Structure 1
Amino acid sequence: MTVTRLVPGLLSPPRWAVRAAHAVALVTLPSGVWRLLLAAGFTAGYTGTGYEAMGFTGWGAVYVVGLGMAGELLALLTLGLVRPWGEVLPRWIPLVGGRRPDPRMVTVAAGLGAGVLTLGLAQFAFWWAFPHPDMTPGGNTLAGFLYLPLVAWGPLLAAVTLDYRRRRRRRRHRRVAGAGPVRPCRRTAHSACSRGQQHRAQAGFSPGGGGGSGTGDYSLAPDRP
């Protein structure tokens, strides 16, 4: 006989937050691909003299590639705010694998990062307001469009961080409001107990009697017989 148990879990992130987190991982791609072209030996909008002056060969190429990869990895970390691996770090990560990061530290780090990125990358919104004599006219226009998405990185990260903080606070408040263990009941074809628990889970009520908003704070998971 199968036993159904209400398992407490995190509030599910709203759809807009999930989309915003994925958008962060995309805004760094255009400029990252452009850097790869520069490291591969393409002038990619620079004049011949300008390309040589920028030093995109040798160690300069390594720096450009590393900068692009670091930016993309940092952007991908935003997904941890809306994905399970952000709650429990993957075990393959050295030293910290399998641990739960402190939500307060995550919120502070992400918030500071959002502020720094917003201030530091806002300059690309004014790319065409400044002369770039080391680039061709077409290259100057193209580079401006490739870097323009970076302006949205900071605001998107800030929005996802605020939602992460909101969900963590609501989870903590529900833990305080709800008390008492969850009683398992046997699930049968006409089990009123199971149906009652399922309705309460869908409505967002906590097992301890606290009300909810139906945001998916609990999920149904079958236990062993």
Structure 2
Amino acid sequence: MSAQVTTEEPVREGVTPPSPGAPRDRWRSRWPVWSGCLAALWSLLYGAAGLYWAAGGAGYPFAKVADDRSSASLLEPSRAEIVGPVIAAVGAAGVVAGVLMARGVGKGRARTWLLAYGWISACAMAFAVPDYSLLGLLVFAPLLVVFAFTGVPGPQDGVGDVLYWHRGNLIIIFVGGLLWAAATLAYQWRTANRCTACGRAPHGAARWTTPEATRRWGRWAVYIAALSSIPYDFTRLAWYFGWPLGITRPFLEDMQNTPGMLEIGLGLGLLSTAGGFLTHGLISRWGEVWPRWVWWKAGKRIHPLTAVVPATTVALVLVPGGLMNARHVTAEMWGANGPGILWTVWGLALGAATLAYHLRRRGACARCGRA
């Protein structure tokens, strides 16, 4: 037996519901439907691509290619005739699961299977399959805009030599993972009779989501996130000053002979340190009210999304980068990839700290009125 769940939310007395005629409000209220539809559509298109590659079509993104056109994905290198049918099968299952989630169908064991498929798909696509490309894209995004007009320094002919197909495909897969996470979360809340705007149950918020609780575990999450970046920062600083910490002397000399290489490493280390410092804003007053050193906004309230959006973005791209480093670390060159393994810890801790910040500042729900 199956059950179809409505997307309508009960509204508490005294709480003004959003105007049903506003397009923006309609779009928000129906996100459990469109998120499932988008996940199903993504699965249909990528599954069809898998079928095409399995049949011998060109452009298989996990094939063995030259190093300057490859990625460090979990699936690379692999053969299209083996992985292609798997992609097609997973895509077909995703179409069915996405449609069922969009319709709010399923209870009991069927609901459990749909949730398992959704969360496994989301984690595999967003974290396991990609490499560090997303993190690199985020860090170097401003430079890529400049390079689009000035050209890329060094032997590369253009931005296409940086964002080539094998890397672009990983971005597509990552987006698919985010779609599946959204669809599954919406379905989980919807079929549990929770508010699809805030996730609260009819009997109120869980104890671990109260402001007092989030301050406690959110503080520990911030500390772990900040400490996780230190090994990476320290090794890059050591290399800049000529100490081959965790790498061979010839490798250090190669970097010293490559213009700008050590400076880029130092810059990334300092950027990482700055990120660790900014993480403390998630548990500090200056993370809720603009401090004096931001003089043009000093004393004004910080909108929660100002912190939640960038922190969530960084947390999401850190995890696959850390998992990739775990697959490539060696004893002789542990300094190159070893500290990066902690990016996974950093990303998970930063995600937890961001969740705590969001829960602490979200207030009463505008739709269901629960606090």
Place the TM-score, normalised by the shorter chain, in its bin: 0.5 to 0.7
**Equivalent in the alignment of 1:11:** 211
Q: Deviations over 1:136-180 (max 9, x none)?
A: x44x245554332222111111111112222222x3459x97xxx
Aligned mates of 1:55, 1:95 — CA distance in 2:
42
Over 3 Å counting, the alpha-carbon distance change for 1:141 and 1:60 in structure 2 is closer
- 1:62 alignment partner, one of 228, 238, 263: 263
Higher relative contact order (CA 8 A, sep 6+): 1
Are the aligned partners of 1:125 and 1:148 in contact in 2 as well (CA < 8 Å)? yes
Read off the aligned partner of 2:246 and give its amino acid letter.
G
Q: Tell me the distance in 2 between the aligned counterparts of 1:142 and 1:119.
A: 18
Q: Which residue of 1 aligns with 2:56?
A: none
Deviation at 1:62, TM superposition (A): 2.7
Task: Please report how far the alpha carbon of residue 20 of structure 1 lies from its aligned counterpart in structure 2 after TM superposition.
Answer: 0.9
Structure 1 residue 38: deviation in Å? 0.3
With the length of structure 1 as denominator, give the TM-score of the two structures: 0.60
Query: Which of 228, 234, 256 is residue 33 of structure 1 equivalent to?
Result: 234
Deviations for 1:110-133, whole angstroms, at most 9, x for unmatched residues? 2222112223332122233xx6xx
Aligned-residue CA RMSD (Å): 3.0
Show the counterpart of 1:149: 342
- SS where residue 290 of structure 2 aligns? coil
CA contact (8 A) 2:211 2:359 kept: no
- Rg larger in structure: 1
Q: 1:83 aligns with which of 271, 284, 295?
A: 284
Tell me, yes or no, if structure 1 residue 165 matches structure 2 residue 358.
yes
Tell me the amino acid that sits aligned with residue 340 of structure 2. Y
The residue number in structure 2 matching 1:109 is 310
Q: Label 1:111 to 1:146 Cα distance change in 2 as closer, same or farther (>3 A).
A: closer
> What SS does structure 2 have at the residue aligned with 1:54?
helix
**How far off its partner does 1:83 sit?**
1.3
Q: 2:322 matched to which residue of 1?
A: 121
Instruction: Summarize the Cα distance change of 1:55–1:95 in structure 2 as closer, same or farther, 3 Å threshold.
Output: farther
Report the secondary structure of 2:322's partner residue.
helix
Contact 2:233 2:269 survives alignment (8 Å)? yes
Once residues 298 and 323 of structure 2 are traced to their aligned partners in structure 1, the CA distance between those partners, rounded to angstroms, is 35
- For these two proteins, the number of residue pairs brought into alignment is 160
Aligned to 1:51: 252
Are 2:325 and 2:337, in contact at CA under 8 Å, matched by a contact in 1?
yes
Residue-by-residue CA offset, 1:1-20 (whole Å, 9 max, x unaligned): xxxxxxxxx93433221011
- Is the alpha carbon distance of 1:82 and 1:45 closer, same or farther for their aligned partners in structure 2, counting shifts above 3 Å? closer
Distance 1:152 1:62, change over 3 A: same
Identical amino acids, percent of aligned pairs? 31
Q: 8 Å contact 1:125–1:151 — kept in the other structure?
A: no
Deviation of 1:23 (Å): 1.2
1:87, distance to aligned residue in structure 2 (A)? 0.6
1:41/1:57 contact within 8 Å kept: no
Read off the aligned partner of 1:87 and give its amino acid letter: E
- AA aligned opposite 1:71: S
Q: How many Å separate the matches in 1 of 2:274 and 2:219?
A: 17
The gaps in structure 1 that reach 5 residues or longer are 1-9, 132-136, 178-209, 213-225
